[in-house]
Structure formats: C-alpha cells, structure tokens
Amino acid sequence: MKAAGTPAPLLGSEASAPAAFPSWRLGLPRGRTLALGGGRPQVMGVLNLTPDSFSDGGRFWVEASGGAGRIDPEAVLAQARAMLAAGAELLDLGAESTRPAGRTYGAGAVAVAAEEEIARLLPVLERLRAQTDAVLSVDTRKGAVARAALAAGADLINDVSALGDPDLAAAVAAAGCPVVLMHSRGELADMHLHARYEDVIGEVHAELAAALARAERAGIDRAQVVLDPGIGFAKTRLHNLALLRRLDAFADLGRPLLVGASRKSFIGELTGAPPSDRLAGSLAAAGWAARHGAAIVRVHDVEATVQFLAIDRAIAQAGPA
C-alpha cells in the first residue's frame, strides 16, 4: 500500500514524452504489441543461462561430476521475477556466452552446440512463458535455437551476428516476430582483430543499413527490426565511446535502437573496476544512451537502472516550478 500523500511514480506512459523522439509499435506473437520510443526507453534485463558469461557467468549453474553442469531453472525464474518486479519490460535469455577473446577475456567463450543451447534454454523459457506476459527475448545466433525458442513462447530474437545464419533469418521471417540486429565484425573468437575503422560512426552506420537490407531480402518486415551498434563487439574503448557519443547519428536508419553497455570492458578500462563493480559506470552509459535516443537499454542491474532513468527523465521533463 502506498502511504497517503506519496506522489504517483512518474515511470509509466502517463508521463509526457518529448516530441523529438519517434515512437514505434512492433508486432509480437499471439497478437500482442511492443511499443517503443517516445523518449521513454524500456529496460531489458539480462539473464545469462551460461557457465562463462563475462560478468555473471555461472550464477545459475549447478556443477555436476566430470566437468558437466546444468542450469537451475528455479534460480533463474526467481531472478526473472525480481527483474520484472523492479520494472524490466523485456527479459533477454542467452544460453551461449558471447564473451570476446582478446586482451580482456583471454580465449573468450566456449562455443556451444545448438542442442546444448536449447537444453539450457527451454526449461526456463517454458516456465517463464507460463508465468508472465512480459516480452521474452532470446539471445542466439542459430536458426535451430531461434525456432525452438519461438515454439516455446519467445517473443523476439536478439541476434548478435545480424543474420549470420540464414536459417535464423528464415525462422524470424516465418514467425513474423521482432528481431534485434547487432553490429559486429568477424567471429566471436577473432572480432578483436577487426576493431579497425577509419570512421567508426560512418562504417557502423553503413553496416547496420546493410543488415537491415539483408533482413528485408530474407523476408523480414523492416518494421519488426531493432538495430544495435554493438558496444564491445569488434570495438575498442575509443570506438565504444564514440558510438555512444554519436548515438543520434543512427536515428536516420528509422528503427528503434538497443544499447547494451552494461558492465562492459570499456567501463573497466576507464575505471579499473571488475565486471561485478561496474554499476555506476553502467548507469552513466545507460543514462547517456537513453537521453540520446536508445529505445531499449540492455542491463544486468534492473532495479538501479529503472530508478536512474526515472529520475533522469523526471528532471529532463520538469516544467517551471
């Protein structure tokens, strides 16, 4: 119960939106819709069902004998419920780490077969779908995983390879669901070698435009595409900072933008903080992204991000007292 006299939170759509930010309505499976934009970024909570993600790997992982292991679905569901209660409007379930190889993370993530990815994902996804109408995104690069996830009730596919697998494009086109196309270069194992740009803004812009065109050629409706500059993927610290600084340069692509800067290594490089201690830097990046046009921010720390964005926005919209 709210105490008498406590003002209503200024979190929802009742708060007026600045005219400068466009709005979009994406179609979700089973007749639902996802309203994005209008200056009110939505928070996507990260749920990594992996033993080896860079910031929270192993959190839901139960070790078994002989080096094997499995996800504890109940632990993930508890975290999902906490994220939704804290104000996440989307959850992003990933069963394969995309942790890059290179200076920061050594050999990078271990490749996971589609069968293993599906086995990690489905017990969680099926139970979550039965419990919530929230938007459930699945972070995968593989068509077989996307198909299994969509059949189990996923709403949206988040593809960090931007349709590297033509079968994923076919699965998304057949389902008619939204898809996130993220910018990267090369493979996960060698992307750090591709972090070379003459003009990072222009080249990422051109490569995202090409990804959008590739999606349309594969039969995906451009109105269902969300674009992402791919912070930390084939980028140096300076590239990441430049992309955040000029996020507005991607507005003319005409699609909602997702930004995932949470706990990423550029924050560690600038501050010396380990992944588990990068909340303040992550909030600074999410706040900047939100103010400069991100429609979705993908974060590990939902409660803090929701509060940060609510206050940031309330100040930005305050009228003369």
Residue 298 bears catalytic tag: yes
Asked if 97 touches ligand HH2 (CB under 6 A), the answer is: yes
- Distance in angstroms (rounded) separating the CA atoms of residues 300 and 126: 22
Closest distance of CB 1 from ligand HH2, Å = 36
DSSP string, 226-264: EEE--TTSS--HHHHHHHHHTGGGGGGG-S-EEE--TT-
Asked if 192 touches ligand HH2 (CB under 6 A), the answer is: no
Contact residues for 223 (Cβ-Cβ < 8 A; gap 6+): 24, 26, 27
Residue 214 bears catalytic tag: no
Q: Which of 141, 185, 298, 313 is catalytic?
A: 298
DSSP string, 158-182: EETTSS-SHHHHHHHHHHT--EEEE
Distance in angstroms between the alpha carbons of the first and the last residue of the chain? 29
Identify which range of 4-12, 96-104, 110-118, 162-170 contacts ligand HH2 by CB under 6 A.
96-104
- Distance in angstroms (rounded) separating the CA atoms of residues 175 and 184: 25
Identify which range of 24-32, 33-41, 91-99, 128-136 contacts ligand HH2 by CB under 6 A.
91-99
Of 42, 98, 236, 240, the residue at the interface with ligand HH2 (CB under 6 A) is 98
Closest distance of CB 294 from ligand HH2, Å = 11
Distances (CA, A) of 286 to 166, 202, 304: 32, 22, 11
Asked if 94 touches ligand HH2 (CB under 6 A), the answer is: yes
Asked if 240 touches ligand HH2 (CB under 6 A), the answer is: no
Of 42, 140, 158, 305, the residue at the interface with ligand HH2 (CB under 6 A) is 158
User: Of the candidates 3, 46, 34, which has an alpha carbon nearest to the alpha carbon of residue 259?
Assistant: 46
Contact residues toward ligand HH2 (CB under 6 A) are 46, 48, 50, 53-55, 94, 97-99, 109, 139, 158, 160, 180, 182, 228, 230-231, 258, 260, 298
Residues with a catalytic annotation lie at 264, 298
